[in-house]
Amino acid sequence: MKTVFVDSSVLFSAVNSPIGGSSKIFTLKNVKLVTSRVVLIETERNVRNKLRDYHLERFFMLVEKLEVLKQLPNSQLIKKAKKVIVGKDSVILAESYKSKADFLVTLDLKHFLTGSVARFLRPQKALTPKMLIEMVEKK
């Protein structure tokens, strides 16, 4: 079974809307969704600040469907990530790399779906939820 690292853009969007691709990936079979504590903290912080009370309940409900990896941010890796992506996204990129998942799922195409990020993540691949769904449904 392939493992998929869920980033905070996807988790936040899944909380925000139950009908988008981000929500749909939580219903996929044959993939294992994983994430890190930093992603949970970043998402929760933004859900509390930007969304409504009932979204917080949905956030906790979705987290139950994820495996939360026991990993902590690595400063050296973040430093390396900063060389291939904008500073604001370097922590998440480093977290995804460290997870050793097969895929990183993100909605930030502009910063994550680039050649330099692809080389950094190799063999892990960055995808959008839509791309992941299409890939899984083809099989």
Partner 1 sequence: MLTYPFNIIPITKARGELGNLAEKVSKGNYIILTKDGSPKVALVDISYLINLENQVKKTYQKTFIDPKLLKYTRKFTEEEVKEWEKEDIL
Q: Does 55 bind partner 1 (CB under 8 A)?
A: no
Q: Does 74 bind partner 1 (CB under 8 A)?
A: no
**Measuring CA to CA, which residue among 97, 103, 91, 93 is closest to residue 32?**
103
List the one residue from 28, 63, 135, 136 that touches partner 1 (CB under 8 A): 63
Q: Which is nearer to partner 1, 45 or 65 (CB)?
A: 45
Q: Does 12 bind partner 1 (CB under 8 A)?
A: yes
Q: Does 104 bind partner 1 (CB under 8 A)?
A: no
Cβ-based neighbours of 26, under 8 Å, separated by 6 or more: 14, 33, 62, 65
Q: Does 79 bind partner 1 (CB under 8 A)?
A: no
Question: Per CB under 8 A, which region of 32-40, 96-104, 115-123 contacts partner 1?
Answer: 32-40
Q: Does 86 bind partner 1 (CB under 8 A)?
A: no
Q: Does 131 bind partner 1 (CB under 8 A)?
A: no
User: Contacts with partner 1: how many residues (CB under 8 A)?
Assistant: 36
Distance of closest approach, residue 88 Cβ to partner 1, in angstroms: 6
